[in-house]
Amino acid sequence: IHDVAEWTTRVVTHPRAELTHWQATARFWYDLARVGARQLREDRALQMAAALAFHTLFALMPLAIVSTALFKGIQGVDTLRSLVHQMVQTAGLDAVRVMPANPAGAAGDEGISLGAWLEDMVAKFGTIDLETLGLVGFAVMMYAAVAMMVTVEDCFNTIYRAPQGRSWLRRVPVYWTVLTVGPIGIALLFLVDSHVGRWLATVDASHGILRVLGVLWSIGLITVMLLGTFVLLPNTFVSWRSAVGGAFVSAVLLHVGKVGLAAYINNAFSFSHLYGPLGFVPVLMIWTYAMWICILFGVEVAAIVQRLGGRRDELEDLERLRLRTGMIDATSVLLLMEVVAEGFASGQAVSLGRVVDETGLPEPVAAEILQKLVVQGFVHRVASIEPAYTLARPPEEISADSLIEFGCGMLHERDGRRTSRTVEA
pLDDT in tens, 114-157: 667 777 777 776 666 666 666 777 777 778 878 888 888 888 88
What are the CA-CA distances from residue 335 to residues 86, 240, 317, 363, 391 (Å)? 56, 31, 21, 14, 14
- Polymer length in residues for the chain: 425
In a domain, 390, yes or no: yes
Same domain, 292 and 334: no
Domain edge (last residue) among 280, 312, 344: 312
Same domain, 47 and 186: yes
**CA count, 13 A, side-chain hemisphere, 4:** 1
Same domain, 213 and 128: yes
Same domain, 90 and 28: no
Burial class (CB in 10 A: 0-12, 13-18, 19+), 301: buried
pLDDT number for residue 255: 83
Question: pLDDT digits over 181-239, tens only?
Answer: 666 666 666 667 667 767 766 766 666 777 777 778 878 888 888 888 888 888 878 88
Distance CA(80)–CA(85), nearest Å, equals 9
Question: pLDDT digits over 360-413, tens only?
Answer: 776 777 888 888 888 888 998 886 656 789 998 888 888 888 887 887 776 555
Read off the amino acid at residue 23: Q
Among 136, 137, 149, 118, smallest CA distance to 66 is for: 137
Cα R_g (the chain), whole angstroms: 26
The domain containing residue 57 runs over which residues?
43-312
Q: CB–CB of 380/389 below 8 Å?
A: yes
Same domain, 30 and 15: yes
Question: Angle at CA 186, nearest 5°, toward 185 and 188?
Answer: 65
Q: CB–CB of 270/246 below 8 Å?
A: no
Domain edge (last residue) among 266, 286, 312: 312
Q: CB–CB of 298/246 below 8 Å?
A: yes
**DSSP 8-state secondary structure symbol assigned to residue 420:** P
The model's confidence at residue 42, banded by pLDDT at 50, 70 and 90, is: confident
366 C-beta neighbours (distance < 10 Å), count: 24
Same domain, 265 and 338: no
pLDDT number for residue 66: 66
Same domain, 33 and 110: no
**CA count, 13 A, side-chain hemisphere, 175:** 19
H helices of 161-239, in order, are: 168-176, 182-202, 207-232
Q: What is the separation of C-alpha 247 from the centre of its chain, rounded to a whole number of angstroms?
A: 8
Distance CA(22)–CA(309), nearest Å, equals 20
Q: CB–CB of 67/130 below 8 Å?
A: no
In a domain, 319, yes or no: no
pLDDT number for residue 316: 60
In a domain, 93, yes or no: yes
In a domain, 239, yes or no: yes
Same domain, 417 and 278: no
CATH value at residue 334: 1.10.10.10
In a domain, 317, yes or no: no
Overall domain count for the chain: 3
Distance CA(35)–CA(31), nearest Å, equals 6
Distance CA(320)–CA(408), nearest Å, equals 24
In a domain, 52, yes or no: yes
Question: pLDDT digits over 337-355, tens only?
Answer: 999 999 898 888 888 878 8
The model's confidence at residue 5, banded by pLDDT at 50, 70 and 90, is: confident
Same domain, 96 and 245: yes
In a domain, 318, yes or no: no
Q: Higher confidence at residue 412 or residue 11?
A: 11
**CA count, 13 A, side-chain hemisphere, 198:** 6
pLDDT number for residue 415: 46
pTM of the full structure: 0.66
Q: Is the pLDDT of residue 279 over 70?
A: no
Question: pLDDT digits over 304-343, tens only?
Answer: 888 776 665 556 655 554 544 444 556 678 888 999 999 8
Same domain, 286 and 330: no
Strands, DSSP E only, in 244-322? Answer: none
Distance CA(389)–CA(339), nearest Å, equals 10
Domain edge (last residue) among 312, 340, 359: 312
Question: pLDDT digits over 57-112, tens only?
Answer: 888 777 777 666 666 666 666 666 676 676 666 655 666 565 554 544 444 455 56
Same domain, 258 and 381: no
Same domain, 96 and 125: yes
In a domain, 267, yes or no: yes
**DSSP 8-state secondary structure symbol assigned to residue 325:** T
pLDDT number for residue 244: 92
